[in-house]
Structure 1
Amino acid sequence: MKRFRALVGVSSERHDVSYVLRICAVAALGGILFGYDTSVISGAIGPIREHFHLSDAATGWAVSSVILGCIIGAFSSGWLAHTLGRRMALFICAILFSVQSFGAALAPDFLQFVLYRILGGLAVGIASAVSPMYMSEVSPKDMRGRALSMEQFAIVVGALLVYVVNYLIAARATAEWLETMGWRWMLGSEIIPCLIFCATIFLIPESPRWHMIRGREDHALRTLSRISNESHARSLMAEIRDSMTHHGGNGQSLAALLRDRRARWIIFIGAMVAGLQQFTGINIVVYYAPMLLSASSGSLQNALFQTIWIGVANLVGGMIGAWIVDRKGRRPLILWGSLGMTLGLLVSSVALYTQDTGLLALFGLLFYMVMFGLSWGPVAWILVSEIFPNRIRSAGMSLAVASNWVMNFVVAQGFPMLAGNRTLNEAFHGAFSMWLFALLCLGSMAFVLRYVPETKGVSLEKIEDTMLGNVSSSLDSATMPRERIIPLDHA
């Protein structure tokens, strides 16, 4: 066990690290389905486009329709997590994932395909907020970054799995079979991880902080004692109780949130971090990698094979990020990761602009994915999971994750039309979008470094002081009068 603790970088002996990682791993299955569901379309979109005879705009809608469901799911996640608990909200996700995997695979027309994809989006939106919320609430502060990195790690694993599945389905298939049946097998394969998630979700305990909010201190004590020991559990419960007493913990309406300028500022920061993750261009790679690589790879099968390596690069980056995030902090990873992502996009843009038919475009995307995997991939989810105080965590995370999906929708819907613009293609040969997202990477980095404080090692009960300290340094006190903090936990 000591060797295991040393491996994951945890020096404290008071926590049952293996238990925390086990229960976080089950919650992270929601992330696997998140990655699987959003990435499966990358291999299927070409055949789907031919099968349903889609225009550029309709192709964008086939991809981005799932994101409409994600936005709705993210907005509803705060209410579900607060009312039913984190664990039950995740079980609802598992059921929705299962239904949509069958429905989308069997859809007889484009309308029904879109409706089932929106249903799957509901599940993704809820899971993308509740899974990291649960992990942040069961993880000790000195390993919270590594535990929350499991969410991004799970998303990447889910994406990598479906890249492999898509390639195996398409490897020896004819174009005609892929157009009629192949894409259905790709979408239907999701049922396997769905059933695993359904079978394991009730093997984990409910969040102790949710039990505290609900006044079930005996339940909270059992879980916290299992995570560490009874003495430490009682000390942490006292901190949680004190936080709820001084700042409120039982929740009010969204109107209360809007009257609390300080809480509103924290939620604005969280929403910006979550939304800016999409402006780094990650999902033009996740959703459209085969389209980007098809010109230089020679065939759809070759493009799908190269996409597997993009998933591997993301996984490698995620492993590096998980290893160093609690050592180096959140801000340094954003700085160096953003610079590396910009460089990777510029390399790919050179390959596209010069119409290079070699591997330069792939190498640029691989480097981009490694740097995203160690920076914006895990750090954005870590930050939105830990910067919200207990009293506004459900509301804050639901609004922040909804912001992520709104920006995701803009990128996913807009990119096919941008990539299909004849004027831009004739002038830049597909490089324009790479230049655009390289610039947005730098802008996103600047925002985080200007407005987001370092949160490494800060307990969830102390996070509000850290964030409000950043408010005083970021905003003019003349326009930021001191106000009474209004209790809020859910919208």
Structure 2
Amino acid sequence: MRKHNLRLILFICSVASLSGVILGYDASVISGVIEPLSEHLALSPWESGWAVSNVILGCVIGAWGVGYISDRIGRKSTLIITAVLFVISAIGSALATSLTDFVIYRLIGGFAVGMASAITPLYIAEVSPKDWRGRMLGLQQMLMVGGQVTVYVVNYLIARGMPHEWIVSSGWRWMLASGIVPCVLFLLLVPFMPESPRWLALKGKTERARQVLTQLSNAQHADRLLQEIIASSKDEAAQASQGGILRDPRTRYILLIGCAIAILQQISGINILLYYAPSLLQNITSSTQSSLFQSIFLGLALLAGVAVCLSTIDRFGRTPLLRWGALGCALCLVFTSWAFITQAEGLLPVTGLVAFILIFGLSWSLGAWLLISEIFPNRMRAVAMGYAFSSMYVANFIVTQSFPMMNRSEVLMTHFHGAFPLMLCALGCLVAFWFVRRFLPETRGVSLEHIEPLMLSKSRRFAATAQQTVEQPASPEWANTK
């Protein structure tokens, strides 16, 4: 008897992960757009930052509300809504004639990004076997980074050989419009996905949940896992609401940990490179096309890092990669800051940035998203992930709004030559190193229904409560098969 139908699981996780392509595309297309857009609309440094960071406000709203939406209409329907919003955003922003028009359509795209960034890993975590969960979520990260690399190449190809005047007048519009392609592909394939069996079980649709679980594994495993899901969620009505999560000290503690992971991922500075790579690289090169070309190598480094992490995170665990990844990122940022301050010539600055991106891909790019998707109990997962990703985008907004002002500050440029933002991010990476060591348990190979006691046991305050949980009679063997 088969243990899992890995072919079907891989197919539906691949389709769900196509939203990652859209996420990566939407997040990074602005890197090639912002400079010609700023020139086309004569934007001030503050307005340039707003043109980039406004999307994050939409992300906050989308991520905050997606838990309630997906709990009511289902994970699959929510994914379809995000794809439609992406299409509207791509068309509208490409045709924008003013900063106001551009911001409105980018906000719509941000709303879709916020929803997709939370619902996609949630869906994948809920349909994946525990021993494959890291790799399945890694697939989404691979496609997300693949979307980023693709858009770097597309932006470069659109701009290559074209006069600067055309890039400023029309080229940035074609960059934005190219995002329609992955959106349409996703819309065509998503109807073939089943609904999340855990959502079906939580809604009392046990027969449909059993059918999906049977398709994913076998009838015996489906029956046993269904019993476990129902048992772990028996107090859902009391705690799945926003008020219930915040009132219960156990769920409030886990929620704070999840939000902290999301914030620490952002203050590492990754989105400075994803959103502003050409702008940052123009500190060391005077050519727009050269900076666009060098951005491709940053994307390839991130793709390579995630690819390696995909094959190691279910073997070596989450916390070692996050801990040493944070330290490695800090060292790379310090090295790059030194290269900027001393105005080192050649490939030294680019080498530091590529090394940072590579190490981030090996650790926090996948690790943070994976932990956020698996540390929350069933009864609160959708709502709590919305909170966590909202926190991520608030931090993202602060980082992306402040970078153009720091990067164009005459005082900071005179003294640091573009290195000041990188130095701040290095400090953030050191904080992340301490946080992982102090608060995060290892979740590798643990079923979703058994992670909560691990989370609580890491805190001295909840050690007694967790110990009581552990001392209860051991779960039967089948409880750890998912």
Cα offset, 1:266, TM superposition: 0.5
Of 395-404 and 422-431, more deviation after overlay is shown by 422-431
Q: Please, which runs of 5 or more residues in structure 1 have no aligned partner? A: 1-11, 483-491
- 2:420 matched to 1:432? yes
Looking at structure 1, the residues matched to 394 and 13 of structure 2 have their Cα atoms a distance apart, in angstroms, of: 27
Cα drift, residue 475 of structure 1: 5.6
Q: Does 1:378 align with 2:378?
A: no
- Alignment equivalent of 1:233, drawn from 179, 197, 222: 222
Query: 2:395 is aligned with what amino acid?
Result: M
The normalised TM-score by structure 2 is 0.94
Deviation per residue, 1:471-490 (Å, 9 max, x gap): 3x356879xx99xxxxxxxx
2:45 to 47, 56, 63: 56
Matches of 2:309 and 2:450, distance apart in 1: 24
Residue 459 (structure 2) pairs with residue 464 (structure 1) = no
Partner residue of 2:376?
A: 388
Residues 472-483 of structure 1 mapped to structure 2, 5 A cutoff: 473=460
Deviation at 1:17, TM superposition (A): 1.7
Q: Distance in 1 between matches of 2:179 and 2:340?
A: 33
Report Cα offsets for 1:88-145 as digits up to 9, x if no partner: 0000000000001000000111100000000000000000000000000000001111
> How does 1:198-217 map onto structure 2 within 5 Å?
198-217=187-206
Question: What is the aligned counterpart of 1:311 among 276, 299, 306?
Answer: 299
Q: Tell me, yes or no, if the aligned pair for 1:295 and 1:357 is still in contact at 8 Å.
A: no
Equivalents in 2 of 1:405, 1:86: separation in Å? 21
Between the aligned residues of both structures, percent identity stands at 47
Partner SS for 1:388: coil
1:309 and 1:367 map into 2 onto residues whose CA distance is: 11
Which string of whole-angstrom CA distances, capped at 9 and with x for unpartnered residues, describes residues 333-390 of structure 1? 0122112211221221122111123111111111111100010100000000000000
Contact 1:213/1:249, CA 8 A, preserved across alignment:
no
Aligned to 2:473: none
Give the Cα–Cα distance (whole angstroms) in 2 for the partners of residues 43 and 74 of structure 1. Answer: 25
Instruction: Please name the residue that 1:89 is paired with.
Output: 78
Q: Which residue of structure 1 aligns with residue 386 of structure 2? A: 398
Q: 1:206-237: CA deviations, max 9, x gaps? A: 00000001111111111111111111111111
Q: Aligned letter for 1:280? A: S
Q: 2:35 aligns with which of 21, 32, 46?
A: 46
TM-score scaled by structure 1?
A: 0.92
* C-alpha separation in 2, matches of 1:411 and 1:96: 25
Q: Structure 1 residues 13 and 362 mapped into 2: Cα distance closer, same or farther (>3 Å)?
A: farther
Matches within 5 A, 1:136-175: 136-175=125-164
Aligned equivalents of 1:172, 1:402: Cα separation in 2: 40
Amino acid across the alignment from 2:55: V
Q: Are 1:332 and 2:299 matched, yes or no?
A: no
Corresponding residue for 2:438?
A: 450
Cα distance, 1:432 vs structure 2: 1.6
Give, in whole Å, the separation in 2 of the partners of 1:243 and 1:442. 36
- In the alignment, the residues of structure 2 paired with residue 423 and residue 295 of structure 1 have an alpha-carbon distance, to the nearest angstrom, of 15
Alpha-carbon distance in structure 1 between the residues aligned to 2:395 and 2:249: 24
Cα distance in 1 for partners of 2:461, 2:398 equals 29
SS at 1:458 equivalent: coil
Q: State the distance in 1 between where 2:323 and 2:194 align.
A: 36
- Superposed CA RMSD in Å reads 1.7
Moved beyond 4 Å, runs of 4+: 249-252, 474-478
Which residue number in structure 2 is paired with residue 185 of structure 1? 174
Q: Which residue in the other structure is 2:211 paired with?
A: 222
Cα deviation for residue 151 of structure 1 reads: 2.2
Q: Give the secondary-structure state (helix, strand or coil) at the position aligned to 1:298.
A: coil
- For 2:48 and 2:8, how far apart are their aligned partners in 1? 44
TM-aligned CA distance change 1:303 to 1:251, over 3 Å: same
1:296 offset after TM fit, Å? 2.4
Q: Specify the alignment match of 1:9 in structure 2.
A: none
Corresponding pairs, count = 467
> Structure 2, unaligned stretches of length 5 or more?
470-482
| Aligned partner of residue 233 in structure 2, secondary structure | helix
